[in-house]
Structure 1
Amino acid sequence: MNTKLLLIFTLLITQFSFSQKKSRADRFFETGDYINAAIQYEEELNQKGYSKPILTNISTSYYNTFQFKQAYRYLAVLTTGRFYQKDKSYDNSFNFMMYQVLSSLGKYDKAVDFLALYEKNEKGTELNKSEAISIIETFKLKDDDYTIKEVSFNSVSSEFGAVKRDSIIYFTTDNSIGGFMNKNYKWTHRPFLDILQVNVDNNNTPVSDVQSISDEINSNLHEGNFCFTPDGNTIYFSKSNAEKGKKKFDSLGNNVIYLYKSLKVDGLWQTPEKLPFNEIGYSMEHPSLNEDGTMLYFASNIPGGYGDFDIYSSTINMDNTYGSPKNLGASINTIHREQFPFVANEGHLFFSSNGHLGLGMMDIFVSELKEGILTKPINLGAPINSGYDDFSISYYNDKDGFFASNRKNKSDDDIYSFTQIGEIFPKEYTANFEVREFASDSYIPNSDVILYDSNQQIVYEGRLDSVAAFSLAIFPGTYELKASSDGYETKAKPILVKEKEAQTYIIYLDKKKSISKDTAQDDKAITTSKEGNKVKDADISAEEIKQELMADTEGPKVIEKNGKLYFDVPPIYFDYDKWNIRADSKKVLDEFALKLEKYSTVYIKIDAHTDSRGTESYNQVLSEKRAESTRNYLALVGYVNARRMKFEGFGESKPLIECDSKACSEEEHQINRRSDFEIVKY
């Protein structure tokens, strides 16, 4: 995302001044060349050892170039307190940086510790860490409200800020085809930003070459995010402050971002003009208009705000004059960065922020317009948001649009198209809960149940009757269901309530061993032959059935481990953070379903495991979902009776490769993300 960083910060962050002569690394750092600065600071560390100025600048350089593992290494030293002075006001910023870096790496437990320390030092407030983690997990585990895919016109350059009008998509990029052979931007070592356009078909597939929007608009400086008036004849856009085609610097030597507009006359864009409320020395950027074009929204770091960058609005009057910028207030803005506003036709405000609780770096949020008031922002969650920067969302109809993210290339931005498929604002759904016996799948009468929300507050408590079930109108999210009954082991299970009506969530209890002994393996079995549908001898022993299963080489074999039988099914792989059955795993499960059909009285238990990234509670729920999706696939696609299949998630508790004490590769993490298929009855 660093191609757009000029549109996020002022040109350079506050620099340190040292009494000694500036080194080569310092000179790179002060000009915003963070790539070369990091390289040079590494050499200085070898020569001079750890010092606070060098550690500060090398951490910032890696942070600004999205090299988070390297940034973490040096931030870990800065946040130990080794360099703390009596005044912690500056050092506290490293706690926030560490929170973001660890979040981007998926280490939310540790990340929230640093966020809590930051808020305690900054505000004197105590963060509820368990609640914060629970909220983050909800962002990741809820049912997807969007489907996303990369657009086909992404390139090796950075692209973001896509806006569609009719059959043309406009976007911002550092692709050099904008029409100017200018110097590269030092921060990114790439060309300056331009606004391009491409004609597309109904599937957003290009039907023409990408070209510059206009030589009047694009220059040898930055032109960034933009929006059009409803009639399409005016464009508002972000642009480096310039006069007569040259950068204009303020008294501090900064070239800030201003808001400009250009009018289209006879099909041609005219010379851009600065908006009158731009303030000398401060940036105004990322314009967005409401549906009727009477209100302009934008981000700015002008004095009087809540933090780094805030979201503002300005009225556009009938005579084309503008009202004074109005800050949208503390419910939207934080002491950190809020940027890239977009106003939907209904008046809902979408924007990006690293100040509201999120998945890491900048996330996209939405504030619902209710009775003329913008409500508390909601994180859009996965898959729109990720551990990296997610920003510049826009809709071109009620459900389709674009956003940008650097989740794939880390340093380069890509545009993604999306379709909204779910409700993004809170809504209650009826959920059904049941308590059943694991062995028989029957209800357990007179069960006692308690349902807790993510804050461990009781949502429902009661004793069930002969039908051990209850229904409840409830908001989607993470809950915990605890059940007990005489003669059964008490169990508590995390429950992820989905954004669907009348979903059923079951908790299975096992009988206490002292009361009931599992004699399933001693039961006589009747199996049906696939060939003739003939019933085998009912007097065949369990041992004979076991030998038949283990001798059958067709499809997945049966193996014995630690006194238990398992189907030796090839790995059922899952993508990181996902629980949907991948295409390569569907082929494996299809073959396994045939084996289960052949032995129709075999009962199995599906055990799902995750890697160690993410929190323990998150991974526990994720493994439950993976086990459930595997069971559902076999039942719905493979036509295996669901009553023959139980499932359980073990989270990260039983890894094949230990990754807590070492940095595992992606392949090693993939090995830990697995499913086991135990035969529990035959």
Structure 2
Amino acid sequence: MKSNNALSCLILFLLIPGALLAQYGTQKKADALFNKFAFIEAAETYKELIENDYNRDYATRKLADCYFLLRDPEKAATYYARVVEQEGTPPEYYYNYALVLRALGRHDEAMTWAKTYKKMGGEGRLYRDLKRDETSENLFENGVKYEINPVSFNSSYSDFGAYEFKGELYFVSSRPHTNQSEKVYKWNEQPFLDIFKRDARGIATPLKEGINSKYHEGPLAITPDGKYMYFSRNNYKDNKIGKDDKGVNHLKIYRAEWVEDSWKRITDLSINGKDYSVSHPALSADGKTLYFASDMPGGIGKSDLYKAEIRADGSFGEIKNLGDKVNTSEDELFPFINGENKLFFSSDGHGGYGMLDIFATVTGEDGAIDQVVNLGEPVNSNMDDFSFYMSDNGFDGYFSSNRGADPFNDDIYYFEKIPPLMLRGLVKDSINHKPIANAKLSLKDKDGLEIAYLETDAHGRYEINIDREKSYRISAGHPKYQEAAEKLFDTYNLSKRATEVIVNFQLVPVRDISVLANLNTIHFDFDKYDIRPDAAKELDKIVNLLTNEYPDMVMKIEAHTDSRGSFSYNDKLSIDRANATAEYLISKGLEKERIIASRGFGEKKLTNGCADGVNCEEVQHEANRRTEFIVQRMK
């Protein structure tokens, strides 16, 4: 009655090293809070991820989005400035950055990023066609994407107020169903509204337990335990109609009790009055607070939203106006409280797209309502959009609108939130299974055209937004590893609620200790085999590599000299150098069995042309006085 919104996760879970599990859980928590419009809590949780350097790019994007949705352009601009410097930034972030810069009065910068947005494939328009009032110059859309469709059980009459309870769907309709339906409501020349319930077969029937009368009923709300139903109705009870001193029949909220499989014991409520309307009941998640709309005296606007505690005995506590963050000088109607106790409602007093728009509230750290957020298109239109209901999963639900051809006929729409799709993965070492930081990945389209160039973070992870219904190919590489084979995947046939695609890589390390340990050349002084301090630092890298990175690696040592001196002397000197190297490694804790041979080659394998009789500088001779380490076995 109108007065004027697992399998891939399991695989990822199993791949996460134990030290990262807590941060992975923190990200899941942050994403869940974000999906349920708990943006302040989500922002603090994303900050934790950034501080712990876990999926920093993703957390920064989501943190920027939180402040964008909270309509805090200054903080949003701070984080969007970081986001637009990321590799592979989705175009919509350039768009959002332009919007917040404009809100801050930085118009030249805003136009620069608007042009970047268009250049990166954006649709080329910066501002939506929002209806703005003079006090809402900085209103900007929330950017949440929804897919909507009218439900199959709409009729040619008004249908609205869809509400689910324990698998059953209730709604309000003016469709004819009895002789009583011949009486019409003069406002739209349709029968009066009744409450219907749709069964498992899809058949909609009106409630018959004394709920529906010859006047308007609906919408409704049912307590979590199913014992009580609150519903709107014209002031009409026991076949008596109530009117004020001017002869006006107002709306009331009544309560019915579930007794012996039917709704009985309909009672008037103390919050009602005969001189004003009280309607559109909604219940808190625990069923202990009733929210409603009313034009009772003392309000802020034409119709305000209120709440009252429901005491254990069924009586009501003090009626409290929800305040000027929610209520305006116009109409606020159709409250709804989701499972997270977030308030959604309709208003034509907040800046929006058209007439009634649907809004979500944002609460501060003290739990008080801080501000409201317009749900944006396509939930809202330039017509009336109202009666929002969200399932506990936070992904789908219903709303109502008269956006069709006939503005007097409301229809019910089913909405489903389509979350961004993220490509995520872990790049690991195939031998020790440790994550590989700074691995390079190339994401290409099906034709091999590179879309993005990525790099793994300190935990070997990468992630980027991708499109649905497309084919991709991706490869990974790192200087210390053999390049992985290109992997093909696509995003067809995914669930609309899918949020990620997982593509992991295991890279095979190169069989080169110098590369793996980042070794500089190990040199010896002329005619000596002592381990120099600079050489010791390099040998310590080998101990660390074989002890901590590849505990099953086995190697051999080959030592060399320059050409000065006799062949036999140089052979002995190189053997001494090889043995001195092996002894040093063993003295630092490396097992003897890890070195299968220590060989000296004298001057037989010079690295340059500085042979006997060739005039060379000392630095050239030094290049030949070296020790090399060769991998014999890696598991």
Using the size of structure 2 for normalisation, the TM-score is 0.46
Using the size of structure 1 for normalisation, the TM-score is 0.43
Query: Bigger radius of gyration, 1 or 2?
Result: 2
